[in-house]
Structure 1
Amino acid sequence: MQKHPEKPRERKFQAAYYVEYEGQRVQVCQKCFLQCFDESASFVKTVLKKKLFYPDSDFFDKRGSGGGKNKLTDEKIQLVKDHINSFPKYESHYTRRDTSVEYLHADVSLSQMYNLFCNKFKHDAISISAYSSIFKTMNIKFKKPKLDTCSSCEKLRAKIGIAKQEGDSILLGDLENELLAHQNKADLAYESKRNDKTSASADPTVKVYTFDLQQCLPTPFLRNSISFYKRQLWTYSLTVHDCTTGIPHCFMWHEALSARGVNQIASCLFSHINNLSEVNHAIFYSDSCMGQNKNSFVCAMFILAMEINSTLETIDHKFLEPGHTHMECDVDHSVIERKKKRTEAQIHHPHDWYNFVRSARSRNAFNVIEMNLEDFFDFRLLLKTKLMWRSTNQDGEKFVWKDIRWLRFKKANFAKILYKTTLDEDAPFKTLNLLKRGVNSIVKADLPLLTDDAKISSKKKKDLLDLLPFVNPCFHPFYKSLLTDNSSDIHPDLVEDELEVE
């Protein structure tokens, strides 16, 4: 075959690439040039074309000089901010002194808020990305749900990653040892619970319980769009899970009856212990939240409960490692939450929640105990009048709450707390003496009722009254009779991490 004659090359220009090195121009290849200036080949090609075709022109990048026809106006940005601010916001119950951040309820999502905005302002609808960008500029967050992740582990892993990158072997070793020690404490706590459950299954006089608060239940529980913009009444539930029978005991009340503080938690546990019979040894597991479980009020309650119950000889209260606090009562809460998402039941009053929880599961059904005003006691006053809290133990050592992992109360040691800073069975107990001069015993008559008046904010009551058209008329008097004050709205569930504060 005859070969075609070679086509003449049509290239009229040749590009050469230079960089300045020590004050002199040095010619380099295209690849080196692009890497030096972190540019793409297409960008350089475009610049060269413009130079060739418009040699006398001062060309420049004109992007953005047109003003942006899709740019949001200040009025529209303000409209979005006003819409976001129309949703009820709450302060954290525990961290309000340390941060000005306000929180939206976890049941509300950004996509739901955007859809509500589009439905309300159809002619002013914007993209969800623009709505999200404006939201991020505001000092507002969504209530963070409790996850099965440990913030301490995540922080240590992040520090370990940085130490590896920097090649700091000494710091790396220290961080890895700290992470291992933390995880070993978590494993020891879970192992302790497993061993106690095994002992309880073989001995009917031993009982093991886990307890925790469920997240607040909004009342009335409505599905219409208006309810997203309104504050609702909280219904509370403390679950005490019997690890032997598998039965959860839910102590329930609402915020117009009483708050959700230390005295209320202690009162629920007190009620449960009073109903125990033929039990010599009760073991309780909880997280280390000092605003709920790990405090002197609960200790005073255990001391009194020990004196009143005729069969109890020992009560142990053990605390799981912060960040590793998954318990059987958390499984109970997830059952309720899953059914709550699927339910079409009408929840117009706190008693509707009580019945809802009762029917949440057929096997090992929830035992709901409805708390009344006469069921809440003032353990702070009991501690003040009948006991004496001391900051040092019998050996003169300082008692530090955040280090405590095990509390023991024995009937034979009245008003004394045996404690450990570990869940190791072989570690010795130390003793904190709460005995007050002249007090040899405590009886239930020494326990005063809690007299704090439960009130809701005036803004919350206004929102509840706005929801009455969607509520069964028989419950209207209940909402209209709620007492109010000028307090701010605080969401008890807003716990950033499992708090351990003095």
Structure 2
Amino acid sequence: MLSPTDPINHALFYKQRFKSFNFTMYNTISKQGDCFIWPETEGKRGSCEIASCLYLYFKSTPAVVNHILYFSDRYRGQKLNKFVAAMCLIAVQLLPHLETTDLKCMVVGPNEMERDSMHSAISTEHKIIGKVNWSANWMTIARCDRKKGDKPSTVDEITNKQIIDWKSHQKCHMTFRKADVHGQSINWLYFSKKTQFVINCK
């Protein structure tokens, strides 16, 4: 997401603009969308930022939630990598209410998930408003992106203090391979308190 934007001022297209990043989660049970937004001054668009947003989401779940099933695309640069796996491995050990997490990855090719509707709604709301002056304006747009009758999206502003260096955690605590012990590719990861610091895969 870029700022400023102005549909009338076409000269902005040729200018270097300020970037903001948005990581979205959609709860298919509660029909609640969550947006984690941060400007480029607070962090990049990398795996540590994505893993930190996931960890914050896991922490925010109610105490009655002991199992999280999470679907992801196969973008290895951000989501399907050893750093996100390290976060899940540590999260099930540190968070008292979380017993297990499933990380399932979509098959290669065109796909669509519920969270894509959130990006579409944000884009539609942006077209209605038209003008964005600063990064904080994107947070307002994200809060107003849902249709009438739907729950408004929860928007969390991420700072660099909330971004954890999961790469260092991975190097210290685990060895991650692209294939399982049988040499098969990994499409599904399962983390449990009962099997401490073990990644189960399918």
What's the TM-score, normalizing by structure 2?
0.92
Gap runs ≥5 in structure 2: none
* Aligned match for 1:384, one of 156, 171, 188: 171
Cα pair 1:262 1:292 within 8 Å, conserved: yes
CA-CA distance at 1:260 after TM superposition:
0.3
* Aligned match for 1:341, one of 127, 151, 161: 127
More helix by share: 1
Partner of 1:307 in structure 2?
93
CA-CA distance at 1:377 after TM superposition:
0.5
Cα pair 1:286 1:325 within 8 Å, conserved: no
* Aligned match for 1:328, one of 108, 114, 117: 114
* Identical pairs, percent: 29
Is 2:5 the partner of 1:218? no
More strand by share: 2
For residues 387 and 297 of structure 1, what CA distance do their matches in structure 2 show? 10
- In structure 2, give the amino acid aligned to 1:326: E
Equivalent position SS for 2:88: helix
* Aligned match for 2:143, one of 354, 358, 371: 358
Partner of 1:273 in structure 2?
58
For residues 379 and 355 of structure 1, what CA distance do their matches in structure 2 show? 30
1:64-213 correspondence to structure 2 within 5 Å: none
Cα pair 2:125 2:141 within 8 Å, conserved: no
For residues 343 and 259 of structure 1, what CA distance do their matches in structure 2 show? 27
Cα pair 2:118 2:145 within 8 Å, conserved: no
Per-residue displacement from partner, 1:348-382 (whole Å, max 9, x unpaired)?
11111111211222521110010011110100101
Partner of 1:256 in structure 2?
41
Gap runs ≥5 in structure 1: 1-216, 421-502
Is 2:201 the partner of 1:419? yes
CA-CA distance at 1:390 after TM superposition:
4.8
For residues 116 and 32 of structure 2, what CA distance do their matches in structure 1 show? 13
CA-CA distance at 1:257 after TM superposition:
1.5
Is 2:190 the partner of 1:405? no
Give the 4+ runs in structure 1 shifted more than 6 A: none
- In structure 2, give the amino acid aligned to 1:417: I
> Superposition RMSD on alpha carbons, in Å?
1.6
- In structure 2, give the amino acid aligned to 1:299: A
For residues 264 and 303 of structure 1, what CA distance do their matches in structure 2 show? 17
CA-CA distance at 1:312 after TM superposition:
1.4
Partner of 1:181 in structure 2?
none
CA-CA distance at 1:285 after TM superposition:
0.3
By relative contact order (CA 8 Å, sep 6+), the higher-ranking structure is 2
For residues 106 and 178 of structure 2, what CA distance do their matches in structure 1 show? 23
What's the TM-score, normalizing by structure 1?
0.38
Per-residue displacement from partner, 1:161-218 (whole Å, max 9, x unpaired)?
xxxxxxxxxxxxxxxxxxxxxxxxxxxxxxxxxxxxxxxxxxxxxxxxxxxxxxxx11
Partner of 1:242 in structure 2?
27
For residues 323 and 391 of structure 1, what CA distance do their matches in structure 2 show? 19
Q: Which has the larger radius of gyration?
A: 1
For residues 36 and 123 of structure 2, what CA distance do their matches in structure 1 show? 16
